[in-house]
A and B are shown apart, each in its own frame.
Chain A
Amino acid sequence: MTDRSSSDWLDLRRQFWEALHAHVPKDSKGETQGGQPTGLTQAWIDVLEVWEKQVVPTVSSSAQQFLGRVMAQGKAYFGLMENVLQAYQTATATAQSTAQEHLNEALDSVKAGFTAASLRDGQASAAERMGLWALPLENWQRFVSSMSVLPGAFLGGVNTLAVTDIPGQLNQFLRAPGVGHLRERQAQLQELARRWLEYSNAAQEYQQCFNEIGAESVERLQQALSERPSLNSLRALYDLWVDCCEAVYADHVQTDHYAEVHGRLINALMAVKQQGRIIVDELAGALNLPTRQEMETLHRRFHQLRRETKVMQAELALLRGQGASQAMAENPKAGRRPAAKKKAVKSRSARTKGRSSGRI
Chain B
Amino acid sequence: MSAFNISPHAALEEMLAFNQKLARGLQNLLNTEPITTGVTPKAIIYQQDKLVLYRFKRATEPDNPVPLLIVYALVNRPYMIDLQADRSLVKGLLAGGLDVYLIDWGYPDRADQFLTLDDYINGYLDRCVEAIRRRHRVDKINVLGVCQGGTLGLSYSAIHPEKVKNLITMVTPVDFHTPDNLLSRWVRHIDVDLLVDTMGNVSGELLNWTFLSLKPYRLMGQKYLEMVDALDDPKATENLLRMEKWIFDSPDQAGEAFREFIKDFFQANKLIKGELRVGGREVSLTNLVMPVLNIYASQDHLVPPSASIPLREYVGTDDYSELSFPGGHIGIYVSGRAQKTVPRAIVQWLGERV
Which residues of A come within 8 Å of B, CB atoms?
Answer: 3, 6-7, 10, 13-14, 17-18, 20-21, 24-26, 28-32, 37, 55, 58-60, 62-63, 65-67, 69-70, 72-74, 76-78, 81, 84-85, 88, 98-101, 103-104, 131-132, 135-136, 138-140, 142-143, 146-147, 225-235, 237-239, 242, 245-246, 249, 253-254, 256, 259-260, 262-264, 266-267, 270-271, 273-274, 277, 292, 295-296, 299-300, 303, 307, 310, 350, 353-360
Chain A nearest Cβ from B240, distance in angstroms:
7
Contact indicator B190/A296 (Cβ below 8 Å): no
A-B contact count (CB 8 A): 258
Contact indicator A249/B130 (Cβ below 8 Å): no
In the bound complex, residues from chain A placing their C-beta under 8 Å from that of B111 are 299
Known contacts A10-B27, A139-B209; is-contact A231 B189 (Cβ 8 Å): no
Query: Chain B's interface: helix, strand, loop or mixed, by majority?
Result: helix
Contact indicator B213/A70 (Cβ below 8 Å): no
Contact indicator B218/A234 (Cβ below 8 Å): no
Known contacts A254-B182, A263-B190; is-contact A360 B46 (Cβ 8 Å): yes
Closest to B244 in A: A66
Choose from A85, A131, A260 the contact partner of B8 (Cβ within 8 Å).
A85
In the bound complex, residues from chain A placing their C-beta under 8 Å from that of B127 are 354-356, 358
Known contacts A66-B244, A72-B224, A299-B111; is-contact A226 B186 (Cβ 8 Å): no
In the bound complex, residues from chain B placing their C-beta under 8 Å from that of A359 are 46-48
Other 18 A-B pairs with CB < 8 A, given A6-B30, A226-B1, A232-B6 = A10-B27, A13-B23, A63-B30, A63-B241, A70-B227, A77-B18, A84-B8, A99-B6, A104-B1, A140-B209, A147-B203, A242-B221, A270-B195, A270-B199, A300-B114, A358-B47, A358-B49, A358-B127
Hey, what's the 0/1 contact readout for B281-313 against A, CB within 8 Å counting as 1?
000000000000000000000000000000000
In the bound complex, residues from chain B placing their C-beta under 8 Å from that of A256 are 185
Hey, what's the 0/1 contact readout for B102-120 against A, CB within 8 Å counting as 1?
0000000011011100010
Cβ of B60 within 8 Å of any chain A Cβ, yes or no, is no
Name which of B31-39, B83-91, B147-155, B341-349 contacts chain A.
Answer: B31-39
**Bound Cα distance A84, B222 (Å):** 19
Contacting residues of chain B (15-43) with chain A, CB-CB under 8 angstroms: 15-16, 18-20, 22-23, 25-27, 29-30, 32-35
In the bound complex, residues from chain A placing their C-beta under 8 Å from that of B353 are none
Contacting residues of chain B (199-213) with chain A, CB-CB under 8 angstroms: 199-200, 203, 205-206, 208-209, 212-213
Chain A nearest Cβ from B118, distance in angstroms:
8
Choose from B14, B22, B199, B241 the contact partner of A233 (Cβ within 8 Å).
B14
Chain B nearest Cβ from A82, distance in angstroms:
10
Known contacts A101-B1, A135-B221, A242-B217; is-contact A74 B228 (Cβ 8 Å): yes
Interface residues on chain B, number (Cβ under 8 Å)? 84
**Bound Cα distance A240, B131 (Å):** 54
In the bound complex, residues from chain A placing their C-beta under 8 Å from that of B186 are 253, 259, 262-263
Contact indicator A266/B114 (Cβ below 8 Å): no
Known contacts A135-B221, A267-B191; is-contact A30 B228 (Cβ 8 Å): no
Contact indicator B23/A66 (Cβ below 8 Å): no
Contact indicator A229/B3 (Cβ below 8 Å): yes
Choose from A10, A28, A262, A354 the contact partner of B23 (Cβ within 8 Å).
A10
A-B contact pairs, 22 of them (CB 8 A): A13-B19, A32-B8, A59-B30, A62-B34, A69-B224, A73-B222, A76-B221, A81-B12, A131-B221, A139-B216, A143-B208, A146-B203, A147-B206, A253-B182, A270-B199, A271-B194, A277-B198, A299-B111, A299-B113, A354-B126, A359-B46, A360-B131
